[in-house]
Amino acid sequence: MNGGGPPETAALLPAPGQAPTRGCSLAGPRMAPVEHLVADASAFLRGAPLQEIGRRVYTTREVLAEIRDRAARRRLAGLPFELLLRQPFPEHVRLVSDFSKQTGDFRSLSAADIQVLALTLQLEAQHGGGRPLRTEPRPQVQLSLTPRHPEAPVDVPGFHVPAQTKCPGNEKIPLVAERDPGDPAALADTEFSSFLFWRSPLPDIEEDLEGLLKADPLLLEAEDPEGQESGEEDGWITPRNIEQMQQSSCWGSEPAQVQVGCITTDFAMQNVLLQMGLHVLAFNGLLIQHARSYILRCHGCFRTTSKMTRLFCPHCGNKTLKKVAVTVKDDGSFHLHFSQNPKVLNPRGLRHSLPAPQGGKHASNPHLTEDQRFPQQRLSRKARQKTNAFDPDYVAGVSPFAEHDIHSRAANLQIRDAALGAGRRRLNPNMSRKKCLKNKRPRRPAQPQQHEGGRAGLEGRPP
């Protein structure tokens, strides 16, 4: 299944607030099979042995529609177990959608991913034994116990900070002006009179350097090549320790009996499952270690918003919102975790000029502003008759006498019930389109006719 590579490993992530469990390698100590296992498309694409992980394997029709690889379709047709197809209830789909909007993963989830999460929630409610689940993400608080800067102001209005050191008795500290100008201590104090707080002088390192120069040279021992090689491999994943690294990435010590679990390698799905309190299964170490919450940050005006469904910045109106991980400090302020990639915004497709605006009821214009007006893109009247159940000539299902709309402009433009995307296209909309001239041959130039006397085509011309 895996082409002679490292064996597939299954890892179980614990739900927040519970005792950690351990996911074991399938080649090593086996984990107890999950009673009800919900599989994502990644499990079928990577050829995971689902019959060894779960007793009953569930999935949705949307997941099967995502599998288009020929090898994966062949493995899917020859599964050694029964694959159960289930559709989640609408209330569970709504709960998962609202929860993912609060965690900030809604934009990273497709319709099939939400269906898988909702099916896992539905099976947990049916077979989980009434275990309480979260309806909203738990706020993450990061304690920042950093010491105060020595130059930080201490006279804050409304607060009283007592002095750390007190003078013994009635001893009076002489001011700088009252001291003897020849006193070296007074000269040292005058050097720092421009600062708000006293700083210790810089250490004198000349004596330390002289001591190092006078020290006896150390005898360097011959280095062991094997020890050097092992030292270079510390912290790196090599073919020798890949199985150990995959097993060490699993948490806990003993596998637990799990009733309902979801196997996926999508990090956004794992983040939602963990914060809801559901069990997550992963293989080959493709799992997250910490659950995170996200917000949107505008890279144009540097404002933030927690509404993850927005496409344009609510402050400046530009389409420069990017997802950023966030944690809350002990004082209630947000701590943003930025990406180290300098190319956060993709400028691809912005070098071309905007196309000329189109009119009509089927116009296709780029979405540039939030309050931009768009045509309704309705289907034709004949196409709407196929779904009109109150029509007296309505025939349910596929009928050989059903009328199909193939001549209207909506049918020629392939108008479907899909929402318009935001942003600009990557291709140049102003480039000329070449017309197909496959069956047309270029005309040959007309040959002049030869007449008597060697004069070609001169008869009939005016003098």
Which residue ranges make up the annotated binding site? 298, 301, 313, 316
8 A C-beta contact, residue 164 and residue 150: no
Q: Which letter does DSSP use for residue 8 in this model?
A: P
- Vertex 118: Cα angle to 117 and 119 (nearest 5): 90
Give the amino acid at 417. Answer: D
The two structure tokens encoding residue 8: 């597939």
Q: Sheet holding 34-39: strands in order across?
A: 10-13, 280-283, 260-263, 34-39, 54-59, 83-85
Total residue count of the chain as it appears in this document: 463
What would the DSSP string read from start to end of 14-63?
Answer: PPTTS----PPBSSSSPPPPEEEEEE-HHHHHTT--HHHHEEEEEE-HHH
Sign for the pseudo-dihedral over CA of 58, 64, 68, 74: positive
Residues in binding site for Zn(2+): 298, 301, 313, 316
Element (H, E) at 350: none
| Maximum Cα interatomic distance, the chain, rounded to a whole number of Å | 140
8 A C-beta contact, residue 52 and residue 71: no
- Give the integer Cα–Cα distance in Å for 357 and 156: 58
- Give the integer Cα–Cα distance in Å for 157 and 171: 30
Give the amino acid at 279. Answer: H
The two structure tokens encoding residue 415: 């108008």
The two structure tokens encoding residue 85: 């197809």
8 A C-beta contact, residue 235 and residue 254: no
Give the amino acid at 138. Answer: R
Q: Which letter does DSSP use for residue 322 in this model?
A: E
- Give the integer Cα–Cα distance in Å for 264 and 269: 7
